[in-house]
Chains A and B, each alone.
Chain A
Amino acid sequence: MGLQAQPYGIQGMLKEGHKHLSGLDEAVVKNIDACKQLSTITRTSLGPNGMNKMVINHLDKLFVTSDTATIVNELEIQHPAAKILVLAGKAQQEEIGDGANLTVSFAGELLQGAEDLIRMGLHPSEIIIGYTKAINKVVEILEGLVEEGSDTMDVRNKDEVILRMKAAVASKQYGQESILCPLIADACIQVCPKNPVNFNVDNVRVAKLLGGGLHNCTTVRGMVLKGDTVGSIKRIEKAKVVVIAGGVDTTATETKGTVLIHSAEQLENYAKTEEAKVEELIKAVADSGAKVIVSGAAVGEMALHFCERYKLMVLKIASKFELRRFCRTTGAVALLKLGTVNPDDLGHVDSISVEEIGGARVTVVRNEEGGNSVTTVLLRGSTDSILDDLERAVDDGVNTYKALCRDSRIVPGAAATEIELARKLKEFSFTETGLDQYAIAKFAESFEMIPKTLAENAGLNAMEIISSLYADHASGNVKVGIDLEEGACKDVSTLNIWDLYVTKFHALKYAADAVCTVLRVDQIIMSKPAGGPGRREQAAMDED
């Protein structure tokens, strides 16, 4: 330290090694740059024609996906400002389960606009005010774009569900949505409770089995468990089920104990009494009318022997979660240990059978009766990465169903809504008098990113598309969007591409919020990374 000049200002107050950045050029613009970089990565994945990313995470697992939530999750973003965008994307994923890409990419575009405005001379606070006004206006306009009569729908009508789900699934698995959507819709409708608002995403399961192709995918009312049954009985129909959470075995003491034997007689009878005890337990189960024993832990050999003798099917489900779902499927009450079985605790299955699918043996548990249980979507594909990606598409579809159970309103898809928002917002900006009208106009311009990216990703001429979209919208045709198949502009009501209102609403709102947060930062103070993996924390969120 000796020779170095005395640090001044804020540097003097901080420990050596801290980095301190402030002001427009150093902090704000840098943050914007980082966010822009992030959104360039996600952007090419937007829309049905979006490209996949190959992400190899730190555990060496390979992801091939266009699902933004997965990409940003596995990317391990370091930059603090970019992390805000990631959080916005995650919030969207958790709230709706879809539209994370829209959030991140749109936020990136808004920040790009903000940078232009800053270079123009606007102060970030003015931009923030403008953006806030804009987003409020957008919400207003968006509500006006809702398709008439879509607010009431029958969530059990497959066609209507597919209509709303298609866009979400197509953005992940384009060209295969016509196969996937009916499957997902079927599965969702089957498990939909009487009050749709209580729809539980967990009730739609996904089983991935290597081999075959998309055409072999099916739904199973019930569950698909990997692995074989324990005993030799492989198929059973219309049976009562008893679920034992503990193991099916002789009970052993937790404390280490030793059996003391005093006479030859005791020694001879020792094994016999144990055997008799197990038989008694299994017989009790068999007498209760149960035909299937489901065990949550190991099944003892002696117990298995008697199960075979009494022609009981034995199934082992090691995962506690699976076991709980199994109980839900069959309506059984899990018992802690073997013993007297109350008839009320028994569950019912229509059939349990071991089937061989694509070289793997799986146990299929079917329960056609009893509406509100578990449905499994059986996915087939030739590689693990395809299966994982299909699973994400199914998850998105199911989440969309959950969202539409709560709010079924829809807006035109295929960028029709975005163009309309851009147009209306621009008109609105002219009525504003302050400097924030520039910000509002930029906000409006940012919407163009969506049709532009959609067109670019599809290999179309973006400029041409946007101008013709504007032309159509100006002539009052507010439902005109991009037809990616033909590369032309068409009325989306003929194409049947609709987005859920809530998805759009939240995505735009989260994006705008994230952008305002990033813009509010004018100082970055980074402490010296401690030993080990470097971690940079963000501090000082000064309110202007």
Chain B
Amino acid sequence: MASMMQPQIILLKEGTDTSQGKPQLISNINACMAVADVVRTTLGPRGMDKLIHDDKGNTTISNDGATIMKLLDVVHPAAKILVDIAKSQDSEVGDGTTTVVLLAGEFLKEAKPFIEDGVHPQNLIRSYRIASFMVDFLNSYPCSILHMNIYDLGAIEKIKELAVSIEGKSSDEKRSLLAKCAATTLSSKLIGGEKEFFASMVVDAVFAIGNDDRLNMIGIKKVPGGTMRDSFLVNGVAFKKTFSYAGFEQQPKKFLNPKILLLNIELELKSEKENAEIRLSDPLQYQSIVDAEWNIIYDKLDKCVQSGAKIVLSRLAIGDLATQYFADRDIFCAGRVAEDDLHRVAAATGGTVQTSVNNVIDEILGSCEVFEEKQVGGERFNIFSGCPSGQTATIVLRGGADQFIEEAERSLHDAIMIVRRAMKNSTVVAGGGAIDMELSRYLWQHARNIAGKSQLFINSYAKALEVIPRQLCDNAGFDATDVLNKLRQKHALAAGWSFAIYFKNKNKKSFSSEGALYGVDINTGGISDSFANFVWEPAVVKINAINAATEAACLILSVDETVKNPKSESAQGEAAGGMGRGRGGGMRGGRGRGMRRR
């Protein structure tokens, strides 16, 4: 009897899944590596795009790491961390999302053999943190790499001018400099072929919004048709013509220096208040009520006209009565303007949005130099340009397929973010894997001074950094080993050395470090001076990417146990759909012991 009654020890709820120890850690690493492998091939100018088809039948073609990671719908808890860092990189810097995932995956890959050999993960974590701090130190040193590059360039007369200007001297030179950064970002995207064209557009847009840089002040409008080259930048606001009533045709479509009235009310015949009711005892009064309603709307329209405004925009509907009334008085009107467009107009023209037409004073009217309605592709656009406060810009994107424009929009977003960051932290580093190689070399060299196990770990960290140039080569079809060896040799040259010495002496004049600037030359398949070739990226992108990747790698390494509680009823249905997709998408081969079954 007693033996029959023997209960097993049930510590946790039924259905709870636990796994722990080394196999769990290894399987977490495998899952992350699988995810990194998905985005691996999108890195760099020769990176390939991914086509993602979701369950709703939407097709997305993208090269942007964050977009891909988001759409993958990863369910593995450890791999989710990689998605998180991609998102964080996207929100913090805007670009480098593929880099961050790739780096994290590579850090883990390098850690795997050590874990398998029985190294305690905490030792690895500590070394990785030290390495990341060193990299950080390198980047955030008062005379950061940018400055090093600047002074280095001091030898080369003509680039010297450029390099100084990033400090904020001349705005023209600053522009062309920032355009270089934008071009580097764009070169890895779908619209890479037109990178100069878009780069200058992006820089102009960012300059237009000025110091109070609010991202939503740059509007991106998409019009299918035409070619990429037909895209243009409006130094002000542009939006698609809204729905219009009869009488719209009679309105003038072009104004010079018009006054603009922005409204948040309906200019339509309608009941004044929902909860008001009219009760009449005398049928004769009926006409007076009808008249009163007309009076109210005419009164409103009259006030709009009297304000002196030539353009009336409203977030809400502007009815046919109002349209004709305005047409008679040579006033342009547009109703149902999207809210963010209206706010952008307000910011650009210096007006404020009114909820009442009473007491309209001159102060709240906006103005711009030119307003016109233009045909863009198959659409008509209302364009406000030459705005006084000039805090807005709108990019009208043209191109073939929908997916193409979507991807172009994402690419531009990245480029805009990059330029904004570069403006804020005016330090740039040499791209094309040059900075990664240099950091890697620095760490190798530094590791030699460390006694004990951590020397190995820092070396592996350094090795992981080399993944960026290696992947650039792989994606471009070059022999990675060959190129990497050339790069290593260049970076190890005496010139590279002076870089380290430089930090000690801060001797600007005698400084030269040709080797440190060499990166992968994507055009010839060899190596070249990235800095001289204008392959630049803001330092903040690299700093953030390395920080985030290290944090994520440390987090994953520090987990030794996963406990999964059974889902409660409400969460079950919701998550079930997502799981199937995640499995088919990113998780191929990532299923180890740690992978949750359901």
Contact = CB atoms under 8 A, between A and B. Distances in A.
A54 B77 contact: yes
Contacts of A79: 9-11
Contacts of B353: 305, 308
B559 A51 contact: yes
B2 interface: yes
A26 B2 CA distance: 9
A433 interface: no
A58 B9 contact: no
A38 interface: yes
B288 A264 contact: yes
A38 B570 CA distance: 28
Given A30-B9, A77-B11, A261-B278, A457 B122 contact: yes
Interface residues of A, number: 78
A361 to B, nearest CB: 8
A175 B568 CA distance: 37
Given A56-B77, A215-B136, A383 B559 contact: no
Contact of A74 (B88, B551, B565): B565
Contacts of B292: 264-265, 267-268
Contact of A259 (B18, B121, B277): B277
Using C-beta atoms within 8 Å of the partner chain, give the interface range for chain B. Answer: 35 or more
Interface in A136-163: none
B244 interface: no
Interface in B50-81: 77-78, 80-81
Interface in B514-561: 544, 547-548, 551-552, 555, 558-561
For B85, B292, B346, which residue has the most chain A Cβ atoms within 10 angstroms?
Answer: B292
A386 B125 CA distance: 14
A382 interface: yes
B446 interface: no
Given A58-B567, A215-B136, A457-B122, A383 B561 contact: no
Contacts of B445: none
Nearest to A74: B565
Interface stretch (A114-122, A186-194, A206-214, A395-403): A206-214
A382 B552 contact: yes
A488 to B, nearest CB: 13
Interface in A52-76: 52-60, 62, 64, 66, 71, 74-76
* Main DSSP-derived SS at the A contact region: mixed
Contacts, number: 228
Nearest to B286: A264
Interface stretch (A269-277, A424-432, A464-472, A493-501): A269-277
Interface stretch (A99-107, A219-227, A236-244, A352-360): A352-360
Interface in A528-542: 534, 536
B410 to A, nearest CB: 15
B129 interface: yes
Nearest to B417: A359
A424 to B, nearest CB: 31
Nearest to B564: A56
Given A44-B561, A78-B12, A211-B92, A381 B121 contact: no
For A54, A78, A259, which residue has the most chain B Cβ atoms within 10 angstroms?
Answer: A54
Interface string B380-405: 00000000000000000000000000
Contact of B88 (A175, A210, A261, A536): A210
B229 interface: no
Given A211-B92, A381-B551, A459-B119, A34 B9 contact: yes
A38 B126 CA distance: 28
A6 interface: no
Contacts of A356: 213-215
Contacts of B94: 359
A53 B13 contact: no
A308 B11 contact: no
Contacts of B77: 54, 56, 62
Contact of B285 (A51, A58, A264, A359): A264
Interface stretch (B219-227, B354-362, B490-498): B354-362
B358 A358 contact: no
A15 interface: no
Given A26-B2, A257-B275, A358-B92, A53 B561 contact: yes
A200 B126 CA distance: 35
B358 A264 contact: no
Contacts of A329: none
Nearest to B545: A382
A301 interface: yes
For B2, B11, B125, B570, which residue has the most chain A Cβ atoms within 10 angstroms?
Answer: B11
A385 interface: yes
Given A267-B296, A360-B91, A52 B555 contact: yes
A195 interface: no
A49 interface: yes
A251 interface: no
Nearest to B120: A459
A232 interface: yes
Given A260-B279, A271-B296, A386 B272 contact: no
B559 A263 contact: no
Contacts of A74: 563, 565
B81 A458 contact: no
Interface in B257-311: 264, 272-273, 275-281, 285, 288-289, 291-293, 295-296
A534 B16 CA distance: 14
Contacts of A20: 5
Contact of B560 (A26, A44, A257, A267): A44
B352 interface: yes
A275 B273 CA distance: 13
A53 B562 contact: yes
B561 A77 contact: no
A383 B122 contact: no
A383 B84 contact: yes
A126 interface: no
Nearest to B18: A41
A75 B121 contact: no
Interface in A21-63: 21, 26, 30, 33-34, 37-38, 41, 44, 49, 51-60, 62
B566 interface: yes
Contacts of A175: 125-126, 129
Contacts of B136: 215
Contacts of B88: 210-211, 358, 381-383
A533 to B, nearest CB: 8
Contacts of B121: 51
Nearest to B547: A213
Contacts of A263: 285, 288-289
B112 interface: no
Contact of B7 (A19, A212, A257, A261): A19
A362 interface: no
Contacts of A534: 14
Nearest to B355: A305
Nearest to A262: B279
A481 to B, nearest CB: 18
Interface of B: 2, 5-7, 9-14, 16, 18, 20, 77-78, 80-81, 84-85, 87-94, 119-123, 125-126, 129, 136, 213-215, 264, 272-273, 275-281, 285, 288-289, 291-293, 295-296, 346, 352-356, 358, 544, 547-548, 551-552, 555, 558-568, 570-571, 575, 596
Which 3 residue pairs spanning A and B have beta carbons closest together? A459-B120, A359-B91, A211-B92
10 contacts: A21-B7, A51-B560, A58-B567, A77-B12, A261-B279, A302-B355, A308-B353, A382-B89, A383-B81, A385-B555
Given A76-B13, A78-B10, A536-B10, 6 more contacts: A41-B18, A51-B561, A64-B558, A258-B277, A270-B272, A383-B552
Interface of A: 19-21, 26, 30, 33-34, 37-38, 41, 44, 49, 51-60, 62, 64, 66, 71, 74-79, 82, 174-175, 210-213, 215, 232, 256-265, 267-268, 270-272, 275, 301-302, 304-305, 308, 356, 358-360, 381-386, 457-459, 526, 534, 536
